[in-house]
Amino acid sequence: MAQSIVDFLVELDTNSKLMEAYKKDPVGTATKYGLPEDEIKIIAEKNWDELSSRFDDTSKTIRVINY
Amino acid sequence: MALIQGKEHIKEGSLVVVGTGIGVAGQMTLAAKSYIESADIVFMGIMNKVGEHVVSGLNPNSVSLDDLYEEGKSRAVTYTQMADRIVHAVADGQKVCAAFYGHPGVFVTPSHEAIRRVKALGLEAHMLPGVSAEDCLIADLGIDPSRYGCQSYEASQFLFRDYRIDPYMTQIIWQIGLAGEATLSVLNANHSQSGLAMLADILSEHYPSDHELIIYEAATLPICEPKIQKVLLCELEHAKPTLISTLVVPSLGMPDYRQDRLAKLGLTEQQVINYRNPSIN
């Protein structure tokens, strides 16, 4: 069963061994983790804008009024 | 309300405000994680779905505050409503955790407001530190804020008020994507052109036009790199910042020694230089 890219990102952010493996072989590590093909394609193409647009909502980043 | 040893015990609410870091999970402190896990309810201001997933996994009773944002609505109202939600839950007797991305006390109006209001009710409230965007900037750019000293401020606040730049200090200017935007009602960086032009004019009074600046964005996802764009000061007004862009203006270097102050301390410039560079032999 395909693993979620959300879980992959969390694991990468908290597991230094997985991150080191990913840095050496991004596509191989993502494939071994069990990501589906379309998400491996994002990694292979380094399509970070697609990834950011999927998960980040920068319109909701501002939280301060100072002036 | 619960009965403890025959006495009526009213559960008192409390608030802890924590930061989840700029990344999705790895910058969350052990203490923040523990408070999230043990809260009756967690309010999230995280803006990243992976980060929300992590917090919701630690505590299923987690609700987002970000639905309160609306294009055209003043963020002043949004932040008051965020604080309202948090304070009402505490007043209802719940053990509340408010989790904001980054450091919850850096560039976050509703966290400080909620703590102030909960304390005014005579209830417990405190904040834990977190990893801020400035912390990421220091690590990614290799800047030590103590090297030249540092002035760190929000772009619009700087433009609107009578501040002074010390060009010998590193300038870290936040929220340049909203430079000069006073209405608080836009949720994009399409209104910063005139503010950026004014900022460039002010910087030009202190730095040469070919001074190299950095427009920086921290990475939120672990497989993405931080965005580090170098621009000359003369190009700044044409830059296209986002809402998470920060401008770094490197120092012109160390200023001259103040001979009068050294003399009052019984020192000479040469003595200070010698103390600072001791010979190994």
Same domain (yes/no): B138, B127: no
CB B41 within 8 A of CB B61: yes
Same domain (yes/no): B107, B144: no
Quick one: DSSP state of residue B279? -
Query: Is residue B4, in this structure, part of any structural domain at all?
Result: no
Say what the pLDDT of residue A66 is. Answer: 82
Task: Give the nearest partner residue to B154 out of A48, A59, A64, using CB atoms.
Answer: A64
Same domain (yes/no): B121, B159: no
Write down the ipTM of this complex.
0.93
Percentage of the residues of chain B whose pLDDT score is greater than 90:
95
Boundary of a domain, candidates B131, B147, B180 = B131
Chain-chain contact of B243 with A62 (C-beta, under 8 angstroms): yes
**Other beta carbons within 10 Å of B94:** 19
Q: What CATH number did the domain enclosing B90 receive?
A: 3.40.1010.10
Same domain (yes/no): B101, B173: no
Provide the number of structural domains found in chain B: 2
A65: buried, middle or exposed (CB in 10 Å: 19+, 13-18, 0-12)? middle
Each residue's pLDDT tens digit, B90-140: 999 999 999 999 999 999 999 999 999 999 999 999 999 999 999 999 999
The Cα of B242 is separated from the nearest Cα of chain A by a number of Å equal to 8
Per-residue pLDDT in tens (0 to 9) along chain A, 67 residues: 678 999 999 999 999 999 999 999 999 999 999 999 999 999 999 998 889 889 988 888 998 988 8
CB B29 within 8 A of CB B85: no
Quick one: DSSP state of residue B255? P
Chain-chain contact of B187 with A19 (C-beta, under 8 angstroms): no
Same domain (yes/no): B49, B92: yes
Domain that holds residue B217: 134-249
Helices (H), chain B: 30-38, 49-58, 75-91, 109-120, 133-141, 145-148, 155-160, 193-204, 259-264, 269-276
- CB distance from A6 to chain B under 8 Å? yes
Same domain (yes/no): B156, B124: no
Q: What CATH number did the domain enclosing B193 receive?
A: 3.30.950.10
For chain A, the structural domain boundaries read 5-57
Cβ contacts of B45 within 8 Å, gap of 6 or more: A60, A63, B64, B65, B66, B82, B98, B99, B100, B101, B108, B110
Q: Which residues of A touch B163 (CB under 8 A)?
A: none
Same domain (yes/no): B126, B145: no
Query: Is residue B272, in this structure, part of any structural domain at all?
Result: no
Q: Please state the pTM of the whole predicted model.
A: 0.93
CB B203 within 8 A of CB B166: no
Cβ-based interface (< 8 Å): residues of B facing A: 23-26, 45, 47-50, 53-54, 66, 69, 71, 75-76, 79, 100-101, 107-111, 154, 156-157, 160-161, 175, 178, 182, 184, 187-188, 220-225, 242-244
Same domain (yes/no): B127, B25: yes
Boundary of a domain, candidates B97, B131, B165 = B131
